[in-house]
Amino acid sequence: MLHQKSGSGATPPRRPARRAALVLVLLIAVICGAVAAGSLWSSGSKTDRELAAHRHQVAATTTGPAKDPPVATRFGSKPQAVAPAVWEQPENVRRSGSILVPPRTPEGRALTIWVDDAGSPARPPGSAADRALTSMSGGVAAAGVTGVTGAAVVLLVRRRTEGHRLAAWDREWEQVEPVWSGRLHRDSGAGDDDD
């Protein structure tokens, strides 16, 4: 079947369907990303609340200067070093150990640290900013994976459909070509002479 050309050139007959499929894939990817981000935010909030119930801020005093070089920390956070310190947790129970401090912290500096229920230094509960970053990153990753997978499926279906369409066109052409080109009349005429 021949397709008419518009003023700007030929328009493939299935282009609107392909666009609709890709828009649907994009919509599904956005929904998956939003669901993943919401789920990560919710679970992160719950974990942080549970952690906060077992974390306490206490006053600590360094008993020596910060040791160089600074320790490796998360990307985007301030550099930190390690220094020996003392603190009380629970109340009237003296503890000592190494804590993270700003670089070049001198001996005798008072700092606030986070400790667990046993009084050992511990990481603080997560902040809303950390949770937001984790949720957004997870949401973007989920949307990206869904989008790429969906687009790949659409392209595979398109190729398969195009292959079937071309095969059908070839079969139709095999039937039409001998008549259209006149070969059928020449072949049949040659056969009549043999009889």
Show me where the domains of the chain are located: 20-55+125-150, 56-121
Q: Is 115 exposed, middle or buried (0-12, 13-18, 19+ CB in 10 A)?
A: buried
DSSP letter for 75, please: T
Res 84: pLDDT: 94
Total residue length of the chain: 195
Res 185: pLDDT: 62
Reading the block at residue 141, the tokens are: 């990753």
Return the minimum-mean-pLDDT range out of 102-116, 121-135, 176-190: 176-190
34-77 tens-digit pLDDT: 999 999 999 999 988 888 888 989 999 999 998 876 665 555 56
163-185 tens-digit pLDDT: 888 888 888 888 887 777 777 66
Q: pTM (2 decimals)?
A: 0.56
E strand residue ranges, the chain? 5-6, 9-10, 56-62, 67-71, 80-88, 94-101, 110-115
Return the minimum-mean-pLDDT range out of 6-10, 68-72, 128-132, 165-169: 6-10
Instruction: Dihedral sign for Cα 95, 100, 102, 107, please.
Output: positive
Instruction: Dihedral sign for Cα 164, 166, 168, 171, please.
Output: negative
